[in-house]
Amino acid sequence: MRRSFTLFSIVVHAVAISAAFIVQVLAVGTLPTPHQPLMFDVSRVMAVDVQLPAPPRRAPKAQATNDAVSMNAAPTVAPDRIRDETGLENVAAPPAGIVIGVERGLPGVVERAPVAAAAPPPPEPPAPIRLHSGMKAPRKIVEVAPVYPAIARAAHVQGVVILEAVLDAKGGVESVRVLRSIPLLDQAAIDAVHQWRFTPALLNGDAVPVVMTITVNFTLQEA
């Protein structure tokens, strides 16, 4: 019984499969439209402007001036013809402030007269220093006696006038001023000391101007 049922089932399935196959083969009409595959539409492109950073600025090159260019520098422009030698091709550049003249008659050459550099100002003389024990004192080599004023002689005025004198580096008297005064005798003492001469005062072997004190004694001689 069970074996018969199995055989029957096989026969039924075989008939159903065969019928389905025959129907597909014999079927007429339009075939179904297949599904359209998924596609990306790339025909529409969006353009986006991107702002690029500005390039860094470069400092303009300084134009070389005629003063900064050496006279022996190679030319940057081809010459139109070969020129004769001037004899200054290997001359060193002149020092600052001096312009070297050029040979006359050369074409295309501007003549400039040589300009000498300004001489530096002479050094200022050293200030006079007060005479002290660490230096060699000046020695009087020329002495002129003061003229006794007649009014002072008549008034029997006498005494010591103390002066302060400034000697230059050669031993000459530059200026005199009164430290201790006797009014009738001061000018006579000043006039006399201005004519005195001394040896130079020496400091470390060098002659220097000095300030020193001088006394002039006025004495009346009894007749």
User: Domains (ranges, CATH) in the chain?
Assistant: 129-218 (3.30.2420.10)
CB 148 within 8 A of CB 188: yes
Q: Is 159 left (phi over 0), alpha (psi -120 to 50) or beta?
A: left
pLDDT digits (tens, 9 = 90+) for 80-112: 777 777 766 666 666 655 555 545 555 555 555
Give the pLDDT confidence score for residue 64 in this predicted structure.
Answer: 47
CA distance 28 to 215: 161
Answer yes or no: is pLDDT of 78 > 70.
yes
pLDDT digits (tens, 9 = 90+) for 121-148: 888 878 899 988 889 999 999 999 999 9
Answer yes or no: is pLDDT of 34 > 50.
yes
Inter-CA distances, 136 with 128, 129, 206, 207, Å: 14, 13, 10, 9
